[in-house]
Structure 1
Amino acid sequence: MMPSYFFAHGAPSIVLDRNKYTDFLGQFAANTTKPKAIVLFSAHWEQSTQTVSAVDAYSTIYDFGGFQDELYQMTYPAKGERSLSEQIHALFAKNGVQSVLNEERGLDHGAWSILKLLYPNVDIPVVALSVNRYLSNEQQYQIGKALAELREQDILIIGSGGTVHNLRKVKWYEEGIDEWAESFDNWLQSKLEAWDLDALFHYRELAPCAGEAVPTNEHFIPLLLAMGAGDRGRQAKLLHRSYELGNLSLSCWQFN
């Protein structure tokens, strides 16, 4: 069965960077089975109703400003797969999740920046999915769980976001890792590895430095979605964790 994964996407310029995390992402495909299709929840596509892309081919969305000119020339012209979009739509309905299809939206940088590093050949169909910051953490998990059977079809489910993602706290010109960021991530690691859902659903009250690490939850949600997709096996494994800009967490979690 194909695992599900959470990937931090960091800053949009990640596709131009060379560091331990981008090296890890660049080797990912060589160390894993090639999926038949990719289903990706992006922190940068927020909708009040769960939305499922249903396009033939994606445009590239440059939903950021102030970065290198080279970044705005990049594309990731992935193909969609309408039959998979409709299957996801049906799975959501079966599990009590209201959803709609979207036939227009391209891939935002939360999707294409990671995909460009993981699968640069652009030879795997993609279905992009939105997130909703106003649902409970348990509801987020259940949305991911609704798609768990796709893993049996060699379909890769990805949540793209960030566990510690506070742009007001990043340090552009200082070295070192902030203790509060590591403290939160260490707590998170212990709860993920124990599959402690009660603690994870109440991380804001229980986790150290949660307010600093997760000032808004849209980047944290994809972790719960990817974890929910791994509910059948309930095994979590940290494949990589590093930091940039003092506290921006760059991590990858695998859920079996």
Structure 2
Amino acid sequence: MAYLLCGYYMTSTDDYDIKWTMPQCVLALRLIGLSFNLLDGQKPEEELSTSQKQVALKELPTFLEIAAFTYFPGSFLVGPQFSMKRYLDYVHGRYTIIDKDSNSVKEEIELHDCIIPGISRMFLGFIYLIYYQLGTSYIPNQYLLSAEFQEQTFFKRLSIIGFWGHVNLYKYICLTQILTKQQKLQSLLKSHPALQILTRILMMMHTFVFMGYSLICFIFLSYPRYHHVYSSVYYCGHIIYLSYPFISILIKTFF
């Protein structure tokens, strides 16, 4: 962790850089998780939560197992993160589904040949790479800081931010759950197909625009730069999300 922080301090720039600090960050997170799993393995069962019981390690893995887990080719560069126990099950040909209520093995699935799915994922990765290269050539990060971007209309700026966000981090699209938790509202939508279609369109627009909006500070890193972009759309995303507690009260009251 200290080495990673020194690396950030010595190598960081004003842009989101792809360099050795990225896999180093993944490494630090993975070893932190492994440490917690080992710590949980030393505690009494009654002190552990259901999720802790599923990943706790009763025995210390060998050096070779830790090295293989740390530098697993499928995840050591950018993730995803998974537990050591899950990895050991995988290398031993086990894939289990855990019942969260009883913390017992609910189902054990036989691992099938993964060559064809792996190749298809690789080609899908190439498609994303091409999409990213074409998109960034059309709307580079610096465009959002340019005077030309500021001259666009408000809604066009929002659309550009949405498209820019998809280009930069398309695979991390998240779906809004604000409306789906209200049962009365859901029943109202089911009884009125037109409202259901309208809600669906609004949710898609929300996801498209505000996924890019949420990435602005993540990409531009420094306050003067992302403030410049946020102020161009009047911090509308902040206003919407900060007002959610009040909006949720209205939704619960009337729906």
Q: What TM-score do the two structures reach when normalised by structure 1?
A: 0.23
User: Which has the larger helix fraction?
Assistant: 2
Q: What TM-score do the two structures reach when normalised by structure 2?
A: 0.23
Work out which of the two has the higher radius of gyration on C-alpha atoms and give 1 or 2: 2
